[in-house]
Amino acid sequence: MTCTVRGEKAVCVCSGGLDSTVAATIAAREGYELHILHASYGQIAEEREIEAVKRISEELGAKELVFVDLGFLGAFGGSALTDRSIEIPIDERVELDGTSTPDTWVPCRNLVLLAVASAYAESIGASTVFVGFNAEEAQSYPDNTPTFLERFNDVLEHAVASFTDPITVRAPLIGYFKREIVRKGVEVGAPLGLTWSCYLSGDLHCGRCEACQHRKRGFREAEVEDVTVYERK
């Protein structure tokens, strides 16, 4: 991959999962100076995600790793990822088919997160924000769609200081399904083995939640060895 932006800064929103890690790796391979941003919003897997992001940041040679507290999103409730009274789907075949939004939806999370990431980018003079939005999750999560990305970038043109160049949010995986993301990760040398996808906070990936099911299927369909150790295959 040709490095055409050597030294230019990019903010990479990174959860510690496959998608955002591959997106951040693409930014690194393109020559951006990485500034990784991780958000805690009361998610059950918060501790495991933070551990993963620290390792990924080091592996990618990030210039800076910043943690932001969006705990108010969790306090609002309404999501199985933050509200302990709502059960995370386990051992269910969860398909993102566009007909409903899963219980794991966190209301307006990406809208809030991109606003924070854009503020961070403007403050450090970064030109680009990288995110892991993808076609698979866009089927049922509206804040992963090309339309959402396009509209947010339109808003950004009016949301940053007039004397700066507009910040652009890029989603290099916007048209990819999980198997394609895995293949792209292998292609760019992303540290897939360091990522954490599970919605739970155990020592190992549970292998049973929605995120683990999609992760396993992605590796299987990509015909790439999955080095993840699961509690249950």
- What would the pLDDT profile of 187-200 be if each residue is shown by its tens digit? 999 999 999 999 99
Residue 81: the pLDDT is 86
Residue 15 is predicted with a pLDDT of: 96
pTM of this prediction? 0.91
Residues annotated as binding site for ATP? 14-24
Annotated binding residues for Zn(2+)? 198, 206, 209, 212
- The model's pLDDT over 97-155, given as tens digits with 9 standing for 90+, comes to 556 677 887 888 999 999 999 999 999 999 999 999 999 888 888 899 999 999 999 99
> Known binding site: residues?
14-24, 198, 206, 209, 212
pLDDT at 92: 63
Q: Which CATH architecture has domain 9-195?
A: 3-Layer(aba) Sandwich (3.40)
Assess whether pLDDT exceeds 90 at residue 74: no
Ranking 31-40, 86-95, 212-221 by mean pLDDT, the lowest is 86-95
pLDDT tens across 51-73, in order? 999 999 999 999 999 999 998 98
Convert the chain into a string of H (helix), E (strand) and C (coil).
CCCCCCCCEEEEECCCCHHHHHHHHHHHHCCCEEEEEEEECCCCCHHHHHHHHHHHHHHHCCCEEEEEECHHHHHHCCCCCCCCCCCCCECCCCCCCCCCCCCCCCCCHHHHHHHHHHHHHHHHCCCEEECCCCHHHHCCCHHHCHHHHHHHHHHHCCCCCCCCCCCEEECCCCCCCHHHHHHHHHHHCCCHHHCCCCCCCCCCECCCEHHHHHHHHHHHHHCCCCCCCECCC
